[in-house]
Amino acid sequence: MTARQNSSTERESADVVVLGAGPAGLTLGNILHAHGIDCVVLERAERAALQVRARAGFLAPNTVRTLERHGLADGLLRHGRPHGACEFRTDTGTFRLDYDRLGRREHHTVYPQQDLVTDLMAHYLDAGGRIRFGAEALAVHDADGHRPTVDARDAQGRRTRWHARYVAGCDGRHGAARRSLPPGTLRHHPDHGISWLGLLAEAPPSLDTVGYATHRRGFAGHMARTPDVTRYYLQCERGTPADAWSEERIWDELDLRMRSDDHRPLHRGRILQRAVVDLRSDVVEPLRHGSLLLAGDAASLISPSAAKGANLAVLEAELLALALVDDLAHGDATALDHYSRRCLAHIWRAQEFSHWMIRLLHTDSGPVSGPDTRADSGADPRPDDESFFHESMRRSRLESLRTSRAHQDWFAENYVGV
């Protein structure tokens, strides 16, 4: 329903106003709509931009099952590829873990996030769901009460005030939902102090596994995306501009850190996208403030070291959707009351594992910034350095992962689990 509130603000309503059309908001919108709940998704970007925004690619088995349960997995079941191994390349040697034969014997499905978002948008719109593209949420008001409102603005500057029963904040770390929380609710983890140059290369994968290289010059990572596109990560100094490195330097550095001389050379190709990612983590606690509920990156930011962000987003969106259905369709608010506590248990588990991965993959001495990639110029810490202790622990952890079946089972269970 639309009504004119004053000369410049439209007035609209929906039982649930969802902020953000990422994996969290779209999973939520699809489930709510399928259960007959009146909802709308407000998304700042245009549809075309969302369909090419490359991010995650490794979907956990639980994520696939969740999407399947709600009839949202057709595309990923048709085009996604199973992936069940990773390789660690270190200065003491290389080892491979077939994690699909360890722990719970489960694998990831590799399916680019932009394809998942494309599918979820199409499914929702085809079913008659409402998305307002180009609509930026500015603030959530009166979340403490039962009639919250959301102020939004479109690209032409027209303003709309949305009246709702609930507002679902799925608009990421910098969205309006977080900005509208009462002061003191954000819990920040100290910045990990580590930065990655995230790259998308027009090149087929060079390994049939995920590749994690720990090197004295810094971490390097390799992750398949499609048969023609591969994601790479290169640890870089904090503050490095994304365009600081030439393509040749990127490939030379990747070859060096991935130890291509001892393995097959990397398949080189054009760099399609590059962005610097500062590894940060934080958790909002609790995830509910009256009528405002958070899910996905808005609820908790997790570094991409263990590929958990998109998976948590889908898991939380399902829990939130079913809780809202219980309340709005059946008058039972129990699940909604437990939403925050249930999600936080998963979030802290994922944060702990992601943190463990960060410490496994990065040396204390930080990345080497010198441009001469031919010289293996990173230096081992001296025994009287404090970093010597941490570096020795890191190596011991890797050695345990290489040799202990129990440790490998633990890794596999956490690596594919959310």
Catalytic residues: 83, 212, 304, 308, 415
Report how far apart, in Å, the C-alpha atoms of 266 and of each of 211, 236, 269 are: 11, 20, 9
Candidate segments 42-50, 203-211, 321-329, 353-361, binder of ligand RFL by CB under 6 A: 42-50
Contact residue for ligand RFL among 55, 83, 178, 289 (CB under 6 A): 55
Half-sphere exposure of residue 309: CA atoms within 13 angstroms, side-chain side: 21
Both tokens of residue 276? Answer: 């610097």
Query: What is the C-alpha separation between 296 and 177, in angstroms, rounded?
Result: 12
76 to 115: interface string for ligand RFL, x by CB under 6 A: -------------------------------------x--
Contact between 124 and ligand RFL by CB under 6 A: the answer reads no
Per DSSP, which regions of 219-357 are E strands?
A: 220-226, 229-236, 270-278, 282-284, 288-289, 292-294, 300-301
Kindly tell me which of 86 and 313 has the beta carbon lying closer to ligand RFL: 313
Contact between 171 and ligand RFL by CB under 6 A: the answer reads yes
Burial of 208 (0-12, 13-18, 19+ CB in 10 A): exposed
CB of 233 to ligand RFL, least distance (A): 8
282 to 311: interface string for ligand RFL, x by CB under 6 A: --------------xx------x--xxxxx
Contact between 16 and ligand RFL by CB under 6 A: the answer reads no
Kindly tell me which of 57 and 366 has the beta carbon lying closer to ligand RFL: 57
The answer to whether the beta carbons of residues 197 and 242 sit under 8 Å apart is yes
Contact residue for ligand RFL among 12, 29, 33, 44 (CB under 6 A): 44
For 343, list phi and psi in degrees, rounded to 5: -65, -40
CB of 375 to ligand RFL, least distance (A): 29
Contact between 119 and ligand RFL by CB under 6 A: the answer reads no
Inter-helix orientation angle 113-126/23-34, to 10°: 30
For 38, list phi and psi in degrees, rounded to 5: -70, 115
CB of 294 to ligand RFL, least distance (A): 9
Contact residue for ligand RFL among 14, 17, 18, 24 (CB under 6 A): 24
Give ∠ CA 337-35-55 in degrees, rounded to 5: 80
For 152, list phi and psi in degrees, rounded to 5: -130, 160
Binding footprint of ligand RFL on the chain (CB under 6 A): 19-25, 42-45, 50, 55-58, 113, 136-137, 170-172, 175-176, 198, 277, 296-297, 304, 307-311, 313
